[in-house]
């Protein structure tokens, strides 16, 4: 039923409908294959993963074996920790103590029972904490070098969460960045370490800590902006006072439609603050060498920029949770397979947001500067021709169908000596005329556009080859000017 609703929501975009159906089929197939040869502990781990992370479970399951198990455990451990920190119905002292010591739960002392709890969260998150000993058994089967990374990040994240456990608001942008570092930036650092330790990426890959941190901050800030109303209703907020005080006396006042002018201004300010991490994110992903690692890190980023584009200057943020369609998510997941595709996604959304910048917005100039920086980085890699894959597939189907129909109709009008469209002196039937005209138009399209994407790709590859040769003979720093703050 959910799939049907999404198909109806995306009915005016055939590419999204096709992507959603492909994504659903791919996800089911991946889950089936993943659990065929696994023991019950890992079956539970991946089953729970698909429930607590619907969007990213597929890219995790598509990782190569050396990465798949460690990252699955890494995600579930941190999700369990986040569930404890996030449950404000439990006394802060209890949550603080658990967060501080959570890393010790991963490797209990001899004779101690594995930690579990039925007091936190609900749904799949609650089930995860109840069955946390299963996750610990999975943790103990992975390589010790991965366990070291997971335990270290869990310790640092738990300490940061404990430090902010009673915070219901955020004062400065520095505090805001620090909190996002604890809950998301550290995840980026840990993942980069895992990529490097596994040998899938170069050893130096994990040394780019600022880039890894920005990857996490960009995602976390997107979620915080999107969840304004939900957090306000729960009696907390992460929007820094340093920003919102410029537009009102109380953060809750922005819910009032009468204050929509100011609420949009503070919203756009928050989004502009998140956008400053985009160049770092693009730079990080440009260094990824392995295909499945690229898929894993790129999908959340393109979903984040798509979400920010949807949130920008959108008053619905103060009325409920604004999300991109699942069909759009599926399209982004399936299409972002290389840097060229990623450049195009970031370019398209940056251009979209740039068009929506209001001249009177207090942060208009700063927003334009950041978006133009992203556009400058992406533009050399964006194909000059549009993406015609879907139209080309449709044209092939129409050509085959119309050709079969026309040949069949000619056979029907065969008079025993020659093929004719007229029977007994009559004129061509209207349906036949329409079919021939449609076939003629399809042929014109195919002759004019069918090879365009491939010719453009060849031309683009040749330009890059010449560009690389010229830089090899006269090397200069790459992208430094465009990416520096």
Active site residues: 179, 226, 236, 296
Residues 382/7, Cβ–Cβ less than 8 Å: no
- CA–CA distance from 167 to each of 88, 174, 245, 267 (Å)? 11, 15, 18, 21
Distance, CA of 214 to CA of 276 (rounded, Å): 9
Torsion sign, CA atoms 156, 159, 162, 164: negative
Judge residue 289's burial from the number of C-beta atoms within 10 Å of its C-beta, 0-12 exposed, 13-18 middle, 19 or more buried: exposed
Of 402, 396, 392, the closest CA to residue 449 belongs to 392
Residue reference for tokens 């890190």: 297
User: What CA–CA distances, in Å, run from 266 to 67, 169, 360?
Assistant: 40, 16, 13
What does the block give as tokens for 373? 């920086």
Q: How far apart are CA 272 and CA 363, in angstroms?
A: 8
Compute the distance between CA of residue 205 and CA of residue 73 in angstroms, rounded to an integer. Answer: 21
């Amino acid at each position: 039923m959910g799939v049907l609703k999404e198909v109806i929501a995306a009915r005016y975009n055939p590419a999204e409908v096709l992507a959603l159906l492909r994504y659903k089929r791919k996800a089911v197939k991946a889950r089936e294959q993943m659990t065929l040869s696994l023991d019950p502990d890992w079956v539970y781990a991946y089953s729970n993963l698909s429930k607590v992370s619907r969007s990213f479970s597929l890219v995790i399951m598509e990782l190569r074996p050396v990465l798949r198990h460690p990252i699955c455990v890494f995600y579930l451990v941190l999700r369990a920790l986040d569930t404890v920190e996030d449950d404000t119905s439990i006394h802060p002292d209890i949550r603080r103590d658990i967060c501080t010591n959570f890393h010790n739960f991963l490797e209990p002392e001899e004779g101690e029972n594995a930690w579990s709890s039925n007091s936190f969260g609900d749904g799949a998150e609650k089930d995860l904490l109840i069955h946390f000993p299963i996750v610990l058994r999975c943790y103990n089967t992975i390589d010790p070098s991965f366990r070291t990374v997971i335990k270290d990040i869990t310790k640092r994240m738990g300490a940061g969460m404990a430090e902010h456990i009673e915070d219901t608001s955020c004062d400065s942008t520095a505090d805001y960045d620090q909190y996002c570092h604890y809950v998301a930036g550290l995840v980026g650092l840990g993942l980069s370490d895992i990529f490097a330790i596994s040998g899938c990426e170069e050893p130096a890959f994990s040394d780019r800590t600022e880039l890894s941190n920005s990857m996490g901050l960009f995602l976390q800030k997107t979620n915080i902006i999107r969840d304004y109303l939900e957090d306000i209703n729960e009696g907390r907020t992460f929007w820094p006072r340093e920003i919102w005080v410029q537009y009102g006396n109380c953060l809750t006042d922005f819910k009032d439609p009468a204050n929509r002018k100011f609420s949009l201004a503070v919203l756009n300010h928050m989004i502009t603050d998140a956008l400053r991490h985009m160049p770092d994110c693009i730079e990080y992903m440009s260094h990824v060498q392995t295909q499945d690692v690229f898929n894993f890190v790129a999908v959340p980023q393109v979903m984040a920029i798509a979400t920010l584009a949807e949130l920008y200057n959108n008053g619905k943020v103060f009325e409920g949770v604004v999300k991109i369609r699942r069909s759009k998510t599926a399209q982004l997941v399936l299409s972002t397979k290389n840097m060229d595709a990623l450049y195009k996604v970031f370019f398209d959304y940056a251009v979209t947001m740039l068009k929506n910048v209001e001249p009177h917005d207090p942060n208009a100039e700063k927003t334009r500067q950041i978006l133009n920086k992203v556009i400058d980085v992406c533009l050399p890699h964006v194909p000059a021709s549009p993406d015609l894959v879907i139209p080309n597939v449709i044209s092939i189907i129409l050509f085959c169908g119309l050709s079969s129909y026309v040949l069949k109709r000619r056979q029907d009008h065969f008079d025993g000596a020659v093929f004719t469209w007229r029977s007994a002196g009559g004129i061509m039937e209207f349906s036949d005329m329409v079919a021939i005209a449609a076939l003629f138009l399809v042929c014109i399209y195919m002759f004019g556009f069918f090879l365009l994407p491939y010719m453009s790709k060849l031309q683009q590859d040749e330009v890059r080859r010449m560009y690389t040769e010229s830089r090899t003979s006269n090397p200069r720093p790459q992208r430094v000017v465009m990416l520096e703050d």
